[in-house]
């Protein structure tokens, strides 16, 4: 279907900004919630859920996780997956476990959930090279490897640190190509409409399920041919999205401060196409080269992402600075809505009402 940019960006927003009745419902509807360890002012997973739940508070996901039908794992990024999505991820190709890995797996089977630092007392404190070229505790890397293979699951978090336990064996009846297609659909639900190129690139981690690139492209085209994936043409750019998505209702006069990885903004090329400016996540950019800020969060007003906001908390008070892509907005409607959003952000951070200041 051919759509204008204006029509399509409204569709993008409405297909992912919904109001759920609880964390479990929101997580099930998204299918996957991307996580990030940076807390500025809160972790990405909490900022994402905040926009889809009334009265949500930072840390609620971590607190409720043991009671929710969720599993931590890697889809196109690390995050929280529904049980159904997690099931499509496993099993992964088996590898020969090292002696240390076998020892740790045996310990968890005997002792139950273990904090990584508790594990140190059993295997000793050592360091090993991690995937980024740095060093990490050997116990942490062993646990992460066993978790990635589906042999362990995250039982809970203790102050943000994953506590693992053994996972039940995964019985898989679907073929590898079928699993790959289900994961493609899960990614589209979680990140929103995107291009074939971006989707296949982001899902490269699970490429082993579908063979070479031409095979992966074929599996994706089958989803289109079967009517499970919708194709929209916007200014000559083809975007894919899952069919049957229930659109949410938008408050046309609400300001939303979004997480950098919110489905509305995650695909940076799509973002620039729809909103006409380049948003960048600069937490890992040297300070001297930042243009938006360490943890600049996109600001959505009506159906337009008009700029960004940087938020910090000091001495129990929230401070928010707004920046604009195409000039400052100073209408009373926007200013009132922006102040309401900052107040909402403060409450989300468990601060007292009115304990904030903002440069809007």
Q: What domains can you pick out in the chain, each with its CATH number? A: 99-166 (1.10.10), 255-359 (no CATH)
pLDDT at 227: 96
Question: SS3 helix, strand, coil % of the chain, rounded to 5?
Answer: 40, 20, 40
Least confident range of 71-80, 112-121, 347-356:
112-121
Mean pLDDT of the region 82-111: 91
* pLDDT category of residue 252 using cuts at 50, 70 and 90: confident
Mean pLDDT of the region 88-99: 89
Cα angle for residues 298, 301, 303 (degrees, 5° grid): 100
Q: Strands of 317-324's sheet, edge to edge? A: 255-257, 297-301, 304-314, 317-324, 356-359
pLDDT at 121: 75
Handedness of CA 219, 223, 225, 229 (dihedral sign): negative
| 48-76 per-position pLDDT tens digit | 999 999 999 999 999 999 999 999 999 99
DSSP 143-161: HHHHHHTTSEEEEEEETTE
* pLDDT category of residue 245 using cuts at 50, 70 and 90: confident
Find, among 134, 133, 191, 259, the residue nearest to 16 by Cα.
191
For the entire predicted model, the pTM comes to: 0.93
* pLDDT category of residue 312 using cuts at 50, 70 and 90: very high
Above 60 in pLDDT, residue 127? no
Whether 58 contacts 45, CB under 8 Å: no
Least confident range of 16-25, 64-73, 345-354:
16-25
* pLDDT category of residue 94 using cuts at 50, 70 and 90: confident
């Amino acid at each position: 279907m051919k759509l204008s940019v204006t029509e399509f960006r409204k569709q993008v927003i409405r297909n992912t900004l919904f109001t759920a009745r609880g964390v479990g419902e929101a997580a099930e509807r998204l299918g996957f919630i991307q996580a990030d360890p940076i807390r500025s002012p809160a972790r990405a997973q909490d900022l994402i859920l905040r926009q889809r739940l009334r009265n949500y508070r930072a840390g609620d996901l971590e607190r409720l996780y043991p009671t929710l039908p969720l599993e931590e794992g890697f889809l196109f990024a690390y995050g929280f997956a529904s049980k159904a999505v997690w099931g499509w991820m496993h099993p992964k190709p088996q590898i020969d476990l090292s002696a240390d890995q076998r020892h740790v797996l045996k310990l968890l089977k005997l002792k139950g959930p273990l904090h990584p630092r508790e594990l140190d007392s059993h295997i000793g404190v050592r360091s090993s090279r991690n995937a980024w070229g740095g060093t990490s505790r050997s116990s942490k890397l062993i646990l992460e490897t066993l978790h990635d293979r589906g042999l362990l699951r995250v039982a809970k978090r203790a102050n943000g640190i994953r506590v693992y336990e053994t996972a039940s064996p995964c019985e898989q009846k679907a073929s590898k190509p079928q699993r790959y297609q289900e994961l493609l659909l899960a990614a589209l639900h979680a990140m929103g409409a995107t291009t074939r190129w971006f989707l296949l690139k982001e899902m490269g981690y699970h490429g082993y399920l579908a063979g070479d690139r031409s095979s992966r492209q074929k599996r994706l085209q089958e989803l289109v041919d079967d009517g499970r994936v919708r194709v929209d043409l916007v200014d000559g750019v083809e975007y894919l999205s899952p069919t049957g998505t229930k659109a949410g209702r938008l408050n046309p006069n609400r300001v939303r401060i979004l997480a950098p990885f919110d489905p509305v903004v995650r695909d940076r090329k799509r973002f620039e196409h729809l909103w006409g400016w380049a948003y960048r996540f600069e937490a890992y950019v040297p300070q001297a080269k930042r243009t938006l800020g360490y943890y600049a969060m996109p600001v959505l007003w009506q159906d337009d992402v008009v700029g960004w906001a940087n938020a910090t908390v000091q001495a129990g008070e929230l401070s928010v600075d707004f920046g604009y892509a195409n000039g400052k907005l100073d209408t009373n409607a926007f200013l009132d809505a922006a102040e309401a959003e900052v107040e909402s952000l403060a409450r989300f951070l468990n601060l007292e009402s009115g304990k904030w200041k903002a440069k809007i």
